[in-house]
Amino acid sequence: MQITYIYHSGYLIESDGFSILIDFYKDSKRKDGTFWVKDYLLNKNETLYVLSSHSHGDHFNPEILTWKKQKEDIHYIFSKEILDSGSAKPEDACYLDKFCTFEDTNLKVQAFGSTDIGHSFLLYVEGKNVFHAGDLNNWHWNEEVSAEEALVYENNFLHELKLLVEQIKHFYVAMFPIDPRLGKDYMHGAQQFVSQIQTDYFLPMHFGDNFDKANAFALIAAQFGCKFLSLSHRGESFQL
C-alpha cells in the first residue's frame, strides 16, 4: 500500500484497485504541480472510499459530498456524529457509531472511541490493521488547566485506549495526533499509545506545519520498536 500525507489529519491510502481518503480538510500539490485529490484521486478509474471521523472543520470539509457528481464509484463512511450534528444527511453516507462496522470485498472499517467528538477508525487493508485516530489523543492541556482537570482528560484517554487494546494488539501503521499546542508534554498521548499497542509504522497528524515538532517523536517511537515515518512536506508518500 502507498500512504500519502495530504494535510493536517488527512491521509490517502492507495491499494490495488481502490483508494481510501481519511479526514480531508485541504488539498496539497504533487511534484508536478497538480493537486493530489482534485486532479489525481478524483480522476483515478477505481473505487474511492471517503472517511470522516467527525464534524470539526479541520477533519470534515463539506466539499467532499460534491465529489459524487464527478466520480460514480465513491463511498462515504462517516462517524455518526456527523449525521447527529446536522453536517450531512442520512442518505449521504454510511454512518458508524462506536464499535460498529462497515465491510465490503475491499475494505473493513470499525469505529472506536475518541476523546473529542466523533470516532477513531480501525481499517483492515490488504490483511493489515491500519489505525486513524481522528481526534483520539491525551488532550491534557496541563499547562492551561488545573492538575485535577488535566487528570480527568488523561483518564478519559486511557479509558478509550484500554477499550482499543482489548480488541487489537498490533497495528501495521497508525496515524495519530502529535499536536504542539499541548505544550511541553505534547507527545505524551502518542507515547502512551505506542507503549500499549505494538505499532510497526507511525505517522503523525494534527500538527499543522510544525514538521520538526512532529518528527521529534521519532526517538520515542524507536524506544518501543516502532518505525516513525518522518514528514518534510505536504503530499509526501510512503510505500509500505
Q: Which domain holds residue 81?
A: 1-96
Question: What is the band of 188 on the pLDDT scale with cuts at 50, 70, 90?
Answer: very high
Whether 172 and 224 map to the same domain: the answer is: yes
Question: What is the band of 64 on the pLDDT scale with cuts at 50, 70, 90?
Answer: very high
Report helix angle 147-165 to 188-196, nearest 10: 30
CA 145 to chain centre: 27
Count of structural domains, the chain: 2
Question: What is the band of 136 on the pLDDT scale with cuts at 50, 70, 90?
Answer: very high
The pLDDT value given to residue 158: 97
**Which of 42, 67, 96 is the C-terminal boundary of a domain?**
96
Whether 145 and 227 map to the same domain: the answer is: yes
pTM, to two decimals: 0.97
Residue 130 belongs to a domain: no
Report, as an integer, the average pLDDT of 65-70. Answer: 96
The pLDDT value given to residue 86: 97
Residue 239 belongs to a domain: no
Please provide the average confidence, as pLDDT, over all residues in the chain: 97
H helix or E strand, kind and range, residue 214: helix 211-215
Question: What is the band of 107 on the pLDDT scale with cuts at 50, 70, 90?
Answer: very high
Q: Which of 118, 145, 146, 152 is nearest to 134 (CA)?
A: 118
Whether 148 and 202 map to the same domain: the answer is: yes
Report, as an integer, the average pLDDT of 166-179. Answer: 96
Residue 114 belongs to a domain: no
Report, as an integer, the average pLDDT of 34-41. Answer: 97
Report, as an integer, the average pLDDT of 170-192. Answer: 98
Question: What is the band of 119 on the pLDDT scale with cuts at 50, 70, 90?
Answer: very high
CATH number at residue 92: 3.60.15.10
Whether 83 and 152 map to the same domain: the answer is: no
Whether 71 and 9 map to the same domain: the answer is: yes
Whether 12 and 80 map to the same domain: the answer is: yes
Q: Which of 39, 28, 37, 101 is nearest to 64 (CA)?
A: 37
Whether 142 and 85 map to the same domain: the answer is: no
The pLDDT value given to residue 170: 96
Question: What is the band of 102 on the pLDDT scale with cuts at 50, 70, 90?
Answer: very high
Whether 71 and 162 map to the same domain: the answer is: no
**Which of 71, 96, 121 is the C-terminal boundary of a domain?**
96
**Which of 36, 65, 96 is the C-terminal boundary of a domain?**
96
The pLDDT value given to residue 2: 98
